[in-house]
Structure 1
Amino acid sequence: MRVFRVHDPFRRAQLAIAALFCSLGFQYATWAARVPAIKAHLGLSTAEVGLLLMATGVGAAVSFPLVAWLMRRIGSQRLALLSALGLALLLFALAAAPDYPVALLVMLADGVLVGGLNVSMNAQGAALEERYKRNAMARLHATFSAGSLAAALLASGMNALTSAVVAHFAVAAALLLLLLAYARSGLVAEEGAVAAAEQPATGTDGASTDTASTDTAQTDTDKRARKRARWTLPTRAVLWMCCAMAFGTVTEGAMNDWSALYLKDVAKASAELAPMGIAVVSCMMVLARIFADGWRSRWGDGPIVRVGSALAGVGLALALLSGGTVPALIGFACVGLGIAAVTPCVYVAAAAQGSDALTLVAAMGTTGLLGGPPVIGFIANAAGLVWGLGAVAACAIVVTVCATRISWPSRSGGTRAGVPAEVPAEPAPVLASEDRTAPVTEPAES
């Protein structure tokens, strides 16, 4: 196990949080890959399958009050671990569902757990960036895409070995539990836990602890905790973030679901070339997210979101107007490249507004990702697939407009992705030779 032992605290926490992102992408793609088998097992119609998929989006949307309460009560660490465990076990429930109503309930519960894990893991990613002053969120989201790719490869391999959904889901659940075990010990500590751990260091040497200073610091900590525990109405800036997140995830999800069908039915691509639409979008998103943290350090989150979403919308619109296979693939590449950094940047901006804002924005993101593709399908069914993907391009342009109304967090010091900031990542240890009698001044709250 020495291979997995990481001594750098930033890297250790980053890998642990990445395991959560990977597990969410892996679990989502695992059951999505077996939808045809579930449809055949339960004898469902196409409309019933659509409602089954919609149930996940509904569960994510209605999970907001519960997830917000749990974030305040148990924190992002525990919520992430409990949600990831529930998603792993839920695969067995879906495989064993005896009828359609039970399957609907399972998918509804899946949406609730996805909402919990989505909020908590992004809160962990934002806390990681805040503590170490280093960009990491985009690469964390890249592991989500990598998890989806790994799940697709596993589904292909399991289909070659056996058609039993239970066997496939059992292997997938075992892998998810391994990811959960790896993430368990490396997550970022809660703010309250950090304050409590550092509290004894605020005293003077030996047993002569400054009781008044300790009581004052504890009172301030309690006030901050009670402030976080109260529900606050979303501000106008948070509502703009919700709008950007919803339309951004609609763009991301719809391209994965409808690009292959567009190439086959509209662009008249061959059966071998049609799946390349998904491959182009996915590859460009993974590559962009790998490098996006460096772009964020150089140009800032706001310009990255504005330029990227505009590239996605304009590129896809021009591809639809041009027609043909090659323009379509170029347009899909523009979407993957441009939309990749939207969700990581919006999550960081929402986390700066507090846990309630992050929970609401994440709920909108999950709803858009899971509920957007069926809506695009309804448009395509009524007016044609060109108009359906045209609505996707319009969604990307809406993100550009929203991005101009969001207050993006500044990156002081110009830190680069993966490069330590000038300030120490960890509080410096107190040496025995240092004078520890000097009073400790706590920074004023903003």
Structure 2
Amino acid sequence: MPKTLQSFRSVITGPVIVLFLISFIVPFSAFMLYPFLIIYFTHVLHYHPWQAGLLLSVRFLASGIFGFTGGLVSQRMGNLRTYIISGLLSAAAIVALAFIHEPATIVMTLAILGLAASTVNAMARGLANELVKDEYRGVIQNYIHWLNNIGMAAALPLSALLLGGGYARTPYFFAAAGYALAAGALAMTVGRSRSQSPEPALRMSQSPSSMKPWKILQNDRAFSWLLLSFALVVIVEMQFESGVPLDLSLHFAHGAKLYGVLGAIDMILVFSLQLLVAHFLDKHPNSWSGSVGMFLLSGLVIGAIWQTVLGWSIAIILLSVGDVFAFGQIFSLMGVLPKNGQHGLYFSLLGMVQGLGTFVAYALGGIGYEILHPFGMFMLTIPLTILAVFSYRNAFRLGTAPQEESMITTG
């Protein structure tokens, strides 16, 4: 593992810098649009809120069900070409979305966008693993996660205040331009630097069975445990974007404003802690920090029990700190687990699980809140995080053991 920042800087090459830049640009441009789609669908296209929510869930469901296909394509074409194709396809889908109104066409376009955009994210992380040495991959993955968060946070006020987010088509064109620009930048930089890459030969040397997602899940037990842990963490963490704003709007006169303040607290904590924690975990790998972080996510129950501003402030602080350590450890393991030549497929499966987890989280935030009420719904985060911790510790144990201990030998 890298021991000093100076040794880490030695891997920051031109292609890595470009990858860092697009890790900011893509979420920055995309989140000028994505969070405002439900407003656009209800106020401009005049769908009912439940119809708009159902339509938007298609994007997550498509990536959750078909996300592995991007990884299969990358096995044949390479992560770079798959990124470029997916980026351009995402841009085209977004432009089309700006001009269509029929529900069936919107569903089809959102499904294409969900699959293409999740593939873009997976290929970016797969390329990161390919561009740096093994011992630096975990911390590089955390840098990408940090840049993604900055891009998303910076986009929201810009779109809302300057671009008419939710009411105008302008954000659609910015989002499409971001995906297209990222694809072009990678083609001109990473593509040229890898003209002598041995990766195609490596891919051809793999057996067809090794390229099948279900074979990876069957053979790589550490990765299977990590996927389960990641799915549970996403379901709990995404309550901040589904169950929490709903609860605040029903219990506080100015719930939307309070949610904005709590969101600012969350972003400040995540941005200030994430890189420090990433380097700390890189030097001192252990399973306890990730386990504690995951359990802290269930601090949301404090807000549900103690329905006050202070109660929710404490809950969000616990969630933010837990987020940093939980995702930090998950992405550190994702710097270790993918096998050579299969980085894109591994991250496609991770993105697939993220899509499913997000879909479940949004469903739980609406239907679960209606049936279980706030106390019951947020209490569910405790058993979910306990199971996430159990799964993560198994993944860590198997993933940091000698490779032969984390693989099942097949005939």
Partner of 1:407: 396
Deviation at 1:266, TM superposition (A): 2.7
User: Gapped runs of 5+ residues in structure 2?
Assistant: 1-8, 402-411
Residues 170 and 115 (structure 1 numbering): CA distance in 2 closer, same or farther, change over 3 Å?
Answer: closer
Kept in 2: contact 1:256–1:281 (CA 8 A): no
Deviation at 1:107, TM superposition (A): 1.2
1:35 to 38, 41, 47: 38
Give, in whole Å, the separation in 2 of the partners of 1:341 and 1:79.
Answer: 31
Kept in 1: contact 2:64–2:354 (CA 8 A): no
Deviation at 1:326, TM superposition (A): 1.1
Partner of 1:304: 289
Query: Whose radius of gyration is greater, 1 or 2?
Result: 1
SS, match of residue 133 in structure 1: helix
Identity of aligned residues (%): 13
What are the superposed Cα offsets for residues 179-225 of structure 1, whole Å, 9 maximum, x if unpaired? 4433444449999953379xxxxxxxxxxxxxxxxxxxx8x885357
Give, in whole Å, the separation in 1 of the partners of 2:247 and 2:294.
Answer: 21
Answer 1 or 2: higher relative contact order, Cα 8 Å, separation at least 6. Answer: 2
Deviation at 1:24, TM superposition (A): 4.4
User: Gapped runs of 5+ residues in structure 1?
Assistant: 1-6, 198-217, 412-446
In the alignment, does 2:386 pair up with 1:397? yes
Partner of 1:117: 120
2:305 to 304, 308, 321: 321
* 1:416-427 mapped onto 2 (5 Å cutoff): none
Give, in whole Å, the separation in 1 of the partners of 2:191 and 2:255.
Answer: 48
Kept in 2: contact 1:139–1:292 (CA 8 A): no
Deviation at 1:269, TM superposition (A): 5.2
Kept in 1: contact 2:94–2:172 (CA 8 A): yes
Partner of 1:234: 217
Kept in 2: contact 1:255–1:281 (CA 8 A): no
In the alignment, does 2:100 pair up with 1:97? yes
SS, match of residue 310 in structure 2: helix
Residues 14 and 331 (structure 1 numbering): CA distance in 2 closer, same or farther, change over 3 Å?
Answer: farther
RMSD: 3.3
Partner of 2:21: 19
Give, in whole Å, the separation in 2 of the partners of 1:275 and 1:68.
Answer: 36
Give, in whole Å, the separation in 1 of the partners of 2:256 and 2:167.
Answer: 27
Partner of 1:334: 318
Kept in 2: contact 1:10–1:132 (CA 8 A): no
1:86 to 85, 89, 97: 89
SS, match of residue 274 in structure 1: helix
Give, in whole Å, the separation in 2 of the partners of 1:29 and 1:56.
Answer: 16
What are the superposed Cα offsets for residues 240-281 of structure 1, whole Å, 9 maximum, x if unpaired? 111111111222322123333333323555653332222223
Partner of 1:213: none
2:205 to 202, 223, 230: 223
More moved, 318-327 vs 8-17:
8-17
* 1:186-197 mapped onto 2 (5 Å cutoff): 186-187=189-190, 194-195=197-198
In the alignment, does 2:359 pair up with 1:377? no
Scaled by the length of structure 2, the TM-score of the pair is 0.81
**Aligned amino acid, residue 387 of structure 1:** G
Scaled by the length of structure 1, the TM-score of the pair is 0.75
What are the superposed Cα offsets for residues 108-128 of structure 1, whole Å, 9 maximum, x if unpaired? 111111221222122123334
Give, in whole Å, the separation in 2 of the partners of 1:176 and 1:119.
Answer: 14
Kept in 2: contact 1:95–1:165 (CA 8 A): no
Give, in whole Å, the separation in 2 of the partners of 1:61 and 1:152.
Answer: 25
How many residues are treated as equivalent by the alignment?
Answer: 383
Partner of 1:246: 231
Deviation at 1:146, TM superposition (A): 1.4
